[in-house]
Amino acid sequence: MDDAHRRPTGTDDRTVEALGKLSEAFEVVEEARGYLYAFHRRCGTADLTLGEAVRLLREAGHTAMADDLQTNLVGRNVLPDRWSYQVVEEYDDGYYAPFRAAEVAARYELVEGKRHIFEAEMKEEERRDGPDDGLSG
């Protein structure tokens, strides 16, 4: 095992396990953040596509329908007073950043900032003899 993933001397199993769970929780937060960014991009794409539909409806002579869509849907907030980018910013600033800071702070306080110690130790326990990458043959 490399030094970047070796637990500092005196670090107990419970601490490594707890930091592994904290890291796992943050990975879920990262995944949720990715979904939120996908939501943001999908909302933007839908709104731009809707604008194109409105233009085409207008060109086809369906002015009342185009006007209704333009008035009631194009550029509409996805939540009260918020476009999707504002939802992303609030998540990033109000939840993601503090969560990330807490995870980093815990690692620096308890294991010299080292990442994935729990996983590195699991890798050592699960290691098998044979090719390392599964691509040899």
Is residue 12 situated within a structural domain? no
Is residue 19 situated within a structural domain? no
Q: Which helix (H) or strand (E) holds 21?
A: helix 13-59
pTM > 0.85: no
- Please state the domain count of the chain: 1
Q: Convert the pLDDT of each residue in 2-50 to its tens digit.
A: 899 999 999 999 999 999 999 999 999 999 999 999 999 999 999 999 9
Q: Convert the pLDDT of each residue in 71-118 to its tens digit.
A: 999 999 999 999 999 999 999 999 999 999 999 999 999 999 999 999
The amino acid present at 104, given as its one-letter code, is: V
Q: What is the mean pLDDT of the chain?
A: 94
Nearest Cα to Cα of residue 46 among 14, 24, 20, 73: 73
Range of the domain at 63: 35-123
Is residue 11 situated within a structural domain? no
